[in-house]
Chains A and B, each alone.
Chain A
Amino acid sequence: MSLTFKGGLHPEENKITAKSPIEVMPEPATVAIAMSQHIGAPCIPTVKKGDYVYKGQTVGEGQGGLTCPVHSSISGTVIGIEDRVGAFGQKVTHVVIENDFKSELLPEIKPNSKSLEESTFDEIVEIIKSAGIAGLGGATFPTHFKVASAKGKGEKLIINCCECEPYITANHRLMLEKPEDIINGVKVVMKALDLKACHIAIEDNKKDAIKVMQEKVGNENGIDIKVLKTKYPQGDERQLIYAIDKIEIPTGKLPADVGRIVLNAETSAAIWRAFHDGIPLVDRVMTVTGDCVAQPKNLIVPLGTSISDIISYCGGYTGEIEKIISGGPMMGMAQWDETAPVIKGTASILCFGKKNKTQPSENCIHCGKCVGSCPMHLMPLYLASFAKQGDWESCREFDVLSCVECGCCTYQCPGNVPIVQYIRTAKGKLRK
């Protein structure tokens, strides 16, 4: 019996790229490195126009604890520091670099001479921090901060390999092709926090990955595989911790408060690369898919590559493009155009054609499907109705602030009511 949580739903998986091996995309002619690719303070460029940068060189750094440096993903010349519309639809400063196609790695980058056993907590956190690692599942929470704040509180590590969003297969392929990187990353974090246990959580639609990971983990001390029922949003860390340990994170608390630290599979692999090879986060695995792209692929893409470069590498569009989404179909961001560059949180680029046209919204028929599918156990129909009337206090009373905007309610709604939109409005009003 697979582990699960209450609520949620199972949209059509559409994992068309599940069998496509990860390809390394050739470096593009230019990259635009966004100064804000993580939750927290944005970075300030540390290079200026005309500078030569190596691959892996820091090009932006932020102030304070909750931030994360960014690095150049290619070697070449800085040709501009520009404000552009980023993947989240807001203006962000980008360092634009022209490729010299030499792929020259920063000379300081070399494999770690220290073994894991000799490394201390502080050293490991510093490695993660200077490598610029942020949650690669899409939330982009700075990983060094997560690890550091779990010190003394963390009991168990959970590696999130659920990939519950439809279409995306990046983690799936990573588990099949680079399972050692994930497991070694686990060991680094376990050593840093002196953890005795780690669960690698995989949904039961990825049988091949479960098998591979099981073999690779073998009799490794304290690490085991947890098989979860395929259901969205299983990859939400609250639902993940609940499914495995039956613990609810109290409202307003973090996983660390219940002794858990949850990392995405690719984040774990990035930690290993940073620890072992000294390579900062300069590229990521992503899925390029949808009904409107010629060759759906899983790719390793240098950060800062524009969506248009990626799509031309995948053979361009088939048919008329309606929507490009950065991220999954349930929570991803629709893009204005194809200029936005890939950032650390971009797990997929979805290209949807005309048949995904949005239907007009009708009346709520009070069917209650949204109540049954809400993983936070809210009553979305009433939240939407209160928000429609501008009754923000009733929204608060019905726990609107606990909404995680997973979109289950809106996905299910037979009347096509934009429930999450109403909820976002209410949350915005209440937070003012």
Chain B
Amino acid sequence: MGLLKVSASPHIRHEDTTRVLMSDVILAMIPLLIWGAYVFGLRVLTITAVSIVSCVVFEALFNLILKKKIPVGDLSAVVSGMLLAFNLPATIPLWIPVIGAFFAMVVVKGLFGGLGKNFMNPVLAARAFLFGSWPSHMTTYSAPLERLSAFGKIDAVSSATTLTELKNGALPSEDIFDLFIGNMAGCIGEVSAMLILAGGIYLLVRKVITWQIPVAFIATVALLTFAFAPDGVSNLSFMMAELFSGGVMLGAVFMATDYVTSPVTAKGRLIYGIGCGALTVFIRFFGGYPEGVSFAILIMNLFVWYLDRATKPRKFGGIRNAKA
């Protein structure tokens, strides 16, 4: 008999590889895509397809040029592509997601060393870049249920989002239930709080994410908007409108929970979530933009290493507060 395979323990592995986890995220986002296509038309699918293909191709090309292993198999580029599309309005010209994909996959992710090495969420960094470069394209929203065709000319009337109304201290004209199910203007994947929450529950059950970040994020936004609702507006309605408008739900469930750019400890995740929520409200109330979610998360991304370090668990058997 020949020599056997010798390797270090442990000799068994959990079946959830990166690829499986990413597949779960993709699965959790599919309802959002379908809902987006229902509310804004088939153009949503075109944008998403362009975005996914661009992300995958840019990542593959980048690694090809650098003679590195092409990591398409881990599906993380597909997740990035979907999320990038979800952060765009349905009226967006199709070249924008291509540029966004380049910025996300090459500048933010690839140049910093690829999967696991980037310090900022690539999708949000790309969104911020696009937002700064082509603000009007990024904020031209079509009205809900005025469906755009897959490739046709865009002739829909541009519609204000509920965030603009909230920014002016008034409640939006839509009723809260419409906001909750996602019958409103906004970015492709962010409108339906209901489906995002359902996706979040799926990810929690599958243990892809933990509860700390989404709960802390959403609770902080809820608390602050309830406490500081403008005069003459019902605190509860204002809070709900703030929660269900814009990117809070998508940000809290799918963006802030990005592994690479969020803390690894339970305590760190709580603080991170609270920070994201507080900054979101701060920007919405006092900033120049109606929306603050992406910037809030990007700012908190910068604190991840610090939070990990500061919330290092006390080792088992270690004396409290003592350095080993």
List the interface of chain A (C-beta within 8 A of B). Answer: 7, 9, 11-12, 89, 166, 238, 242, 248-253, 321-325, 329-338, 350, 352, 356, 358-359, 362-368, 371-372, 375-379, 381-382, 396-399, 401-402, 405, 407, 410-416, 418, 420-421, 424
Interface pair A322/B317, CB less than 8 Å apart: no
Structural contact, B21 and A323, CB atoms closer than 8 A: no
**Contact indicator B18/A365 (Cβ below 8 Å):** yes
Interface string of B46-69 (1 = CB under 8 A from A): 000000000000000000000000
> Could you tell me if B116 and A322 are in contact, using CB atoms closer than 8 angstroms?
no
Q: Do A250 and B319 form a contact, CB below 8 Å, given A381-B264, A412-B14?
A: yes
Which of B1, B4, B21, B261 makes the CB contact (< 8 A) with A414? B21
User: What mask results when residues 302 to 324 of chain B are scored 1 for a CB within 8 Å of chain A, else 0?
Assistant: 00000010001111111100011
A323 to B71: give the CA distance in the assembly, Å.
Answer: 29
The answer on a CB contact under 8 Å between B14 and A411 is yes
Q: Does B26 contact A (CB under 8 A)?
A: no
Q: Known interface pairs A367-B21, A402-B316, A421-B8. Does A379 touch B324 (Cβ–Cβ under 8 Å)? A: no
In whole Å, how far is A248's beta carbon from the nearest beta carbon of chain B?
A: 5
Most chain B CB within 10 A, of A368, A402, A407, A414, is at A414
B20 within 8 A of A: yes
B10 to A238, Cβ gap below 8 A? no
Report A341 CB to chain B, min CB distance, Å: 16
Type the 1/0 row for B192-229, where 1 means its CB is closer than 8 Å to any CB of A. 00000000000000000010000000000000000000
Q: A416–B313 contact, CB under 8 A? A: no
What 1/0 mask marks residues of chain B from 14 to 27 whose CB sits below 8 Å from any chain A CB? 10111011000000
Count of A-B contacts judged by CB separation below 8 Å: 167
The one of A242, A251, A338, A382 that contacts B315, using a Cβ cutoff of 8 Å: A251
B211 to chain A, nearest CB (A): 12
> Which residues from chain B contact A252 at a C-beta distance below 8 Å?
317
| A376 contacts across to B, CB distance below 8 A | 315-317
Judging by beta carbons under 8 Å apart, are B313 and A379 in contact? yes
Which B90-120 residues have C-beta < 8 A from chain A?
114-117
In the complex, which of the residues B117, B210, B265, B315 contacts A399, with contact meaning CB atoms closer than 8 Å?
B315
In Å, the complex CA distance between A298 and B216 comes to 50
Contact residues on B (Cβ < 8 Å of other chain), bracket = 35 or more
A323-B315 contact in complex given A381-B264, A414-B16, C-beta closer than 8 Å: no
**Which one of B3, B264, B266, B312 has the greatest number of beta carbons of chain A within 10 Å?**
B264
16 A-B pairs with C-beta separation under 8 A:
A238-B316, A248-B316, A248-B317, A251-B324, A333-B9, A334-B8, A337-B3, A358-B5, A365-B76, A365-B259, A366-B116, A376-B317, A402-B316, A414-B17, A418-B8, A424-B8
Interface residues of B (CB under 8 A from A): 1, 3-14, 16-18, 20-21, 71, 74, 76, 114-117, 210, 259-266, 269, 308, 312-319, 323-324
With A251-B324, A337-B1 in contact, is A352–B11 under 8 Å at CB? yes
The one of A352, A398, A411, A415 that contacts B18, using a Cβ cutoff of 8 Å = A415
A107 CA / B266 CA spacing, docked (Å): 63
Q: Do B11 and A379 touch across chains, with their CB atoms under 8 A apart?
A: no
Q: Does the CB pair A356–B21 fall under 8 Å?
A: no
CB distance from A23 to the nearest CB of B (A): 25
Q: Which residue of A lies closest to B10 (CB)?
A: A407
Nearest Cβ distance between residue B317 and chain A, in whole angstroms? 4
CB-CB under 8 A for A334 and B7, given A250-B319, A366-B264: yes
> Does the CB pair B5–A399 fall under 8 Å?
no
Output the least CB separation between A381 and chain B (Å). Answer: 7
Residues of A within 8 A of B115 (CB): 362-363, 365
Within the complex, the shortest CB–CB distance from B73 to chain A, in Å, comes to: 9
Which of A363, A381, A398 gathers most chain B CB within 10 Å?
A363
CA distance A250 to B315 in the complex (A): 10
Q: Which residues of A contact B313 (CB under 8 A)?
A: 371, 377-379
A contact residues around B316 at 8 Å (CB): 7, 238, 242, 248, 375-377, 402
Q: Nearest CB to that of A351 among chain B residues?
A: B4
B27 to chain A, nearest CB (A): 16
CA distance A253 to B318 in the complex (A): 11
Contact between A325 and B315, CB atoms less than 8 A apart: no
Known: A321-B4, A323-B5, A414-B17. A251 touches B114 (CB 8 A): no
Chain A residue with the shortest CB-CB distance to B16: A414
